[in-house]
Amino acid sequence: MIVQQGKSAPDFDLPATPDQKLKRSDFLGKKTIPVFFPSDWSHVCGDQVALYNEMLSIFHKYNADILGISVDSAWCHDAFMENRKLHYPLLADFNPKGEVSKAYGVYNEENGTSKRALFVIDKEGIIQWSYLSPDGINPGADGIIDALENLTQNP
């Protein structure tokens, strides 16, 4: 079951590049938007990450960082980021496979990938909004913006 609003966001320490890791604690004091997706190179995932790339300036106005997370390797993410010209990190939940996805309740045991899920985490590391989307549907950004707006109005 997906981690719900009001719960502490599970920690992570995942490769952002083949030689650099990012931790959940690196983002304390800032809002964070972890976006779990099934895999690089699929049409829906490509459209979704491209949309968020276009919206970076809006997320930054809310003092929020976005992080893509899937079970693909850091090398695969590196090539995908270069191909899509992404300007936010994609984290590799690769080894042990799906460990962070499982902690967030969004691992698909049947096919060994992350499910398509969105989270908004506040400055203190508490999940303020979560959404589990059907794998084949791009969830867009409306829910993320609504959650960030709500955090701004009700800090």
Q: Which residues are catalytic?
A: 45
Give the E-state strand segments of the chain in sequence order. Answer: 13-17, 20-23, 31-36, 64-70, 90-92, 107-108, 113-114, 116-121, 127-133
CA 111/CA 54 separation, integer angstroms: 30
**Angstrom distances, CA of residue 88 to CA of 6, 56, 113:** 26, 8, 21
- Provide the H-helix boundaries in the chain: 43-54, 56-61, 74-84, 99-103, 142-153
How many other CB atoms sit within 10 Å of the CB of residue 42? Answer: 15
Max CA distance (Å), the chain: 40
